[in-house]
């Protein structure tokens, strides 16, 4: 593993970065701990004002950041620009709402006095982030934790180092003090060293099951609270009375957006028998209409994958699925380019023994299943090791919500695509991980929920006050 920007459209090695030294890590820990101490007495509104400045700075640098992201990992430049704007929205939202979100919660109690839970910062958070949304993944942890008063050390993916570096520079240029969010090109061992350090009191990882297990193991060993945002095989369920114009207009987009490299991409389309043929025909037609090309060209609609390695892995998964009996219902024609393009494909007839049935395909491959009842649709959606998100289309949204609540995932959107917004909790169950990011739930991931019970005097006549419980 080396930190390198390799443009997946041209294969050019654009920049290489040396690993961080151990003393750089020690300096970052020391400065992070110092910021945490200072934040304890700083009015939260001051951090809110700086976070608004971060949002403004990101918008000011939107074109530059979009280009950096596209060169790092290949996504369409319009998608990169959208990601920068989403980061600014998240920053503004936490700047505006954190004071209220972090207000103490009072508790009705039979204890003598008034009880409340206060939400205090805990220290330095070690964050480990993936390449597929190089900026948004940072912001999901940075904005809420900065407002809480935690500082952060970032280890970003080896293939998006320039995005990580520039994002953190812009945060500092906007006025956030050095040491609040430090990007370091760490080795895996240095990540473990950071987790072991007593100044680190939280660990947030977004990534694969493999990366998640290693980092969660280190967090467990050193008893550090952690959140894990891992992979997904999200179902897209189409009930028999769904509006098929809406369904067909959306289905291809939610599979091909970011070249299919999204944890919450719809990876399994579970379609009722009466609309199955119409669905499949439309999906083929829409997959066939994409236009591969330079992702920096706004006219391009199919981007390359993020690396050659990712493309090769997906190809071998597709080959294995077909060898195990799946039918290749469609694949895009050959693409005349040396870029890391993967020809969008549609698989059908995947039976439960096929490796594609339970393994995440992180790229533009859609798996389509035919079902004959809602029960069968729900059972198929749930017969999966992952439980991140999902989409469900139904003629009646209320009925759709009832069916959605039987799907074992952390999020389901009815008659709409998944929109990740700061006010909405994001996360999953099963192998998709645990904990939530964003919203109040996510903001409280790394806080000391300190109980304060305040009385004028002890009251030994009070049934609880008369008891000593330790």
Report the nearest approach of ligand NAP to the CB of residue 188 (Å): 4
Question: How far apart, in whole angstroms, are the C-alpha atoms of residue 204 and residue 221?
Answer: 15
Span from 122-130, 247-255, 372-380, 450-458 in contact with ligand NAP (CB under 6 A): 122-130
Q: Give the residue, chosen from 214, 348, 359, 382, that forms a contact with ligand NAP under the rule CB under 6 A.
A: 214
Strand order in the sheet with 266-272: 327-331, 345-348, 365-371, 266-272, 234-238, 391-393, 413-414
- The backbone torsions φ and ψ at residue 268, rounded to the nearest 5 degrees and listed phi first, read -130, 115
Rule CB under 6 A: is residue 126 a binding residue for ligand NAP?
no
Span from 149-157, 287-295, 327-335, 376-384 in contact with ligand NAP (CB under 6 A): 149-157
Q: Give the residue, chosen from 191, 280, 414, 418, that forms a contact with ligand NAP under the rule CB under 6 A.
A: 191
- Per annotation, catalytic residue among 83, 129, 229, 437: 229
Span from 118-126, 210-218, 245-253, 311-319 in contact with ligand NAP (CB under 6 A): 210-218
Rule CB under 6 A: is residue 144 a binding residue for ligand NAP?
no
Report the nearest approach of ligand NAP to the CB of residue 374 (Å): 27
For 325, other C-beta atoms within 10 Å of its C-beta total 12
Residues 6+ apart with CB under 8 A from 102: 44, 119, 147, 148, 443, 447
Indicate left, alpha or beta for 249 from its phi (over 0: left) and psi (-120 to 50: alpha): alpha
Report the nearest approach of ligand NAP to the CB of residue 345 (Å): 18
Say if residues 139 and 176 touch (Cβ distance below 8 Å).
Answer: no
Question: How far apart, in whole angstroms, are the C-alpha atoms of residue 36 and residue 33?
Answer: 5
Report the nearest approach of ligand NAP to the CB of residue 394 (Å): 25
Interface size with ligand NAP, residues (CB under 6 A): 28
Say if residues 267 and 367 touch (Cβ distance below 8 Å).
Answer: yes
Report the nearest approach of ligand NAP to the CB of residue 215 (Å): 5
Q: Give the residue, chosen from 92, 193, 229, 234, that forms a contact with ligand NAP under the rule CB under 6 A.
A: 229
Residue 268: strand pairing partners: 235, 367
Rule CB under 6 A: is residue 129 a binding residue for ligand NAP?
yes
Residue 3: strand pairing partners: 17
Question: How far apart, in whole angstroms, are the C-alpha atoms of residue 161 and residue 164?
Answer: 5
Which residue of this chain has its Cβ atom nearest to ligand NAP in the complex?
211
Residues 6+ apart with CB under 8 A from 421: 89, 90, 93, 438
Report the nearest approach of ligand NAP to the CB of residue 304 (Å): 16
**x-or-dash pattern for ligand NAP, window 357-386, by CB under 6 A?**
---x-x------------------------
Rule CB under 6 A: is residue 230 a binding residue for ligand NAP?
yes
Question: How far apart, in whole angstroms, are the C-alpha atoms of residue 410 and residue 433?
Answer: 10
Angle between helices 188-196 and 209-221 (to 10 degrees): 30
Rule CB under 6 A: is residue 1 a binding residue for ligand NAP?
yes
Indicate left, alpha or beta for 166 from its phi (over 0: left) and psi (-120 to 50: alpha): alpha
Question: How far apart, in whole angstroms, are the C-alpha atoms of residue 312 and residue 341?
Answer: 10
Interface of this chain with ligand NAP, residues 416 to 435, rule: CB under 6 A = 432
Rule CB under 6 A: is residue 158 a binding residue for ligand NAP?
yes
Helices (H), 107-237: 136-148, 161-173, 188-196, 209-221
Catalytic residue status for 229 = yes
Report the nearest approach of ligand NAP to the CB of residue 247 (Å): 23
Nearer to ligand NAP, 213 or 372 (CB): 213
Nearer to ligand NAP, 102 or 305 (CB): 305
Rule CB under 6 A: is residue 157 a binding residue for ligand NAP?
yes
Cite the active site residues. 229
For ligand NAP, the binding residues (CB under 6 A) are 1, 128-132, 155-158, 188, 191, 206-208, 210-211, 214-215, 229-232, 263, 360, 362, 388, 432
């Amino acid at each position: 593993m080396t930190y390198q920007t390799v443009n997946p459209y041209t294969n050019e090695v654009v920049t290489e970065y040396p690993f961080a030294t151990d003393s750089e890590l020690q300096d970052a820990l020391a400065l992070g701990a110092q910021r945490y101490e200072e934040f304890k007495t700083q009015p939260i509104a001051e951090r809110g004002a700086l976070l608004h400045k971060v949002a403004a700075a990101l918008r000011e640098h939107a074109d530059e950041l979009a280009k950096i992201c596209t060169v790092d990992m290949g996504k369409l430049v319009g998608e990169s620009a959208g990601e920068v704007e989403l980061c600014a929205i998240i920053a503004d939202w936490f700047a505006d709402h954190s004071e209220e979100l972090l207000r103490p919660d009072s508790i009705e109690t039979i204890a003598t006095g008034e009880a409340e839970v206060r939400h205090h910062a805990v220290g330095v958070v070690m964050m480990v982030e993936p390449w597929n949304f190089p900026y948004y993944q940072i912001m999901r942890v940075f904005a809420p934790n900065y407002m809480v008063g935690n500082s952060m050390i970032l280890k970003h993916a080896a293939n998006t180092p320039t995005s990580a570096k520039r994002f953190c520079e812009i945060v500092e240029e906007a006025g956030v003090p050095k040491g609040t969010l430090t990007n370091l090109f760490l080795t895996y061992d240095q990540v473990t060293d950071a987790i072991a350090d007593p100044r680190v009191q939280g660990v947030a990882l977004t990534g694969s099951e493999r990366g998640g297990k290693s980092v969660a193991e280190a967090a467990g060993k050193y008893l550090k609270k952690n959140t894990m945002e891992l992979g997904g095989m999200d179902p897209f369920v189409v009930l028999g009375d769904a509006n098929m114009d809406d369904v067909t207009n959306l289905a291809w987009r939610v599979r091909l957006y970011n070249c299919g490299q999204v944890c919450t991409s719809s990876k399994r389309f579970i379609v009722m028998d009466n609309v199955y043929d119409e669905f499949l025909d439309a999906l083929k037609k829409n997959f066939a209409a994409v236009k591969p090309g330079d992702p920096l060209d706004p006219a391009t609609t199919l981007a390359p994958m993020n690396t050659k390695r990712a493309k090769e892995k997906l190809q071998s998964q597709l080959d294995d699925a077909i060898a195990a009996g799946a039918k290749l219902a469609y694949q895009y024609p050959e693409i005349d380019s040396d870029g890391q393009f993967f020809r969008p494909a549609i698989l059908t007839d995947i039976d439960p023994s096929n490796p594609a049935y339970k393994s995440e395909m992180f790229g533009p491959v859609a798996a389509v299943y035919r079902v004959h009842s809602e029960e069968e649709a729900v059972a198929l959606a749930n017969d999966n090791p992952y439980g991140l998100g999902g989409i469900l289309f139904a003629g009646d949204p209320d009925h759709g919500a009832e069916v959605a609540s039987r799907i074992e995932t952390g999020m389901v959107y009815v008659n709409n695509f998944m929109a990740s917004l700061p006010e909405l909790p994001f996360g999953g169950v099963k192998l998709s991980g645990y904990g939530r990011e964003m919203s109040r739930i996510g903001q409280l991931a790394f806080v000391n929920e300190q109980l304060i019970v305040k009385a004028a005097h002890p009251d030994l006549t009070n049934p609880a006050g008369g008891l000593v419980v330790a």
